């Protein structure tokens, strides 16, 4: 059972090579027949070679078309998400997506209320430096250059009220 699965997997992975092998075999058979026709009865070796050339050119084209990697074109589709503004519901998805921790969220919320870093430090019972570190991390995660920008983005994303 395990072996069979592996075999099938192998075949599907190398199906192009496999196809090429089979095609080649078939074509060689046809060629043998043509060889008889032309070599023996007609002696038209040039025509024979021409046929082979055309045939294998076609085969090459076919192969190339089959094997060519498609170019990948990415199209952005904007999906509108309406935010109801009546009761605030935190967008937990965005929080986890951006990797914002609890403590960082604490700082962000106080920031959005208009608190200075010193005031935030006092409210959270941590040092000013700690608040600064959280703030810096927030700016990175929110891709913001200033606290005002961070607040605006956070509000847009439904992270803070």
Partner DNA sequence: ATGAAATTCACCCGAAAGGATGAAGACCAT
Partner DNA sequence: ATGGTCTTCATCCTTTCGGGTGAATTTCAT
Residue 100: exposed, middle, or buried by beta-carbon count in 10 A (0-12, 13-18, 19+)?
A: buried
- The reply on whether position 89 binds a second copy by CB under 8 A is no
Candidate residues 4, 41, 82, 102; the one interacting with a second copy per rule CB under 8 A? 82
Q: What is the residue whose two structure tokens read 């935010």?
A: 83
Query: Is residue 160 within 8 Å of residue 109, measured between CB atoms?
Result: yes
For the chain, how far is it from start to end, CA to CA, in angstroms? 58
Q: Of these, 98, 110, 135, 157, which contacts DNA (CB under 7 A)? A: 135
Q: How far is the CB of 9 from a second copy (least distance, A)?
A: 23
- Closer by beta carbon to DNA, 109 or else 130: 130
Tell me, residue by residue from 25 to 54, as one string, x for binding to a second copy by CB under 8 A and - for no binding: --xx--x---x---------x---x--xxx
Q: Which of 5, 41, 80, 96 binds a second copy (CB under 8 A)?
A: 80
Told to check if 95 binds DNA by CB under 7 A, we report no
Shortest Cβ distance from residue 99 to a second copy (Å)?
18
Question: Which listed range, 34-42, 53-61, 72-80, 135-143, lies at the site for DNA (CB under 7 A)?
Answer: 135-143
CB 110 within 8 A of CB 120: yes
Task: Count CB neighbours of 112 within 10 A.
Answer: 18
User: Tokens 């078309």, residue?
Assistant: 65
Among 1, 3, 71, 125, binds a second copy (CB under 8 A): 71
| DSSP run (H or E) holding 67 | helix 45-67
- Contact residues for 18 (Cβ-Cβ < 8 A; gap 6+): 11
Where on the chain is the footprint of DNA (CB under 7 A)? 99, 101-104, 116-118, 124, 126-130, 132-136, 139, 145-148
């Amino acid at each position: 059972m395990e072996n069979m699965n592996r075999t099938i997997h192998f075949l599907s992975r190398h199906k192009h090579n496999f196809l090429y092998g089979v095609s080649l075999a078939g074509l060689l058979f046809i060629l043998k027949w043509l060889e008889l026709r032309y070599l023996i009865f007609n002696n038209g070796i040039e025509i024979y070679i021409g046929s082979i050339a055309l045939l294998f050119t076609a085969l090459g084209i076919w192969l190339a078309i089959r094997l060519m990697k498609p170019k990948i074109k990415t199209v952005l589709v904007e999906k509108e998400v309406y935010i109801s503004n009546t009761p605030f519901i935190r967008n937990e998805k965005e929080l986890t997506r951006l990797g914002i921790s609890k403590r960082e969220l604490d700082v962000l919320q106080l920031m959005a209320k208009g608190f200075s870093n010193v005031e935030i430090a006092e409210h959270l019972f941590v040092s000013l430096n700690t608040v600064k570190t959280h703030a810096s991390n927030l700016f990175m995660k929110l891709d913001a250059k200033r606290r005002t920008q961070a607040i605006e983005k956070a509000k847009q994303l439904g992270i803070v009220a």
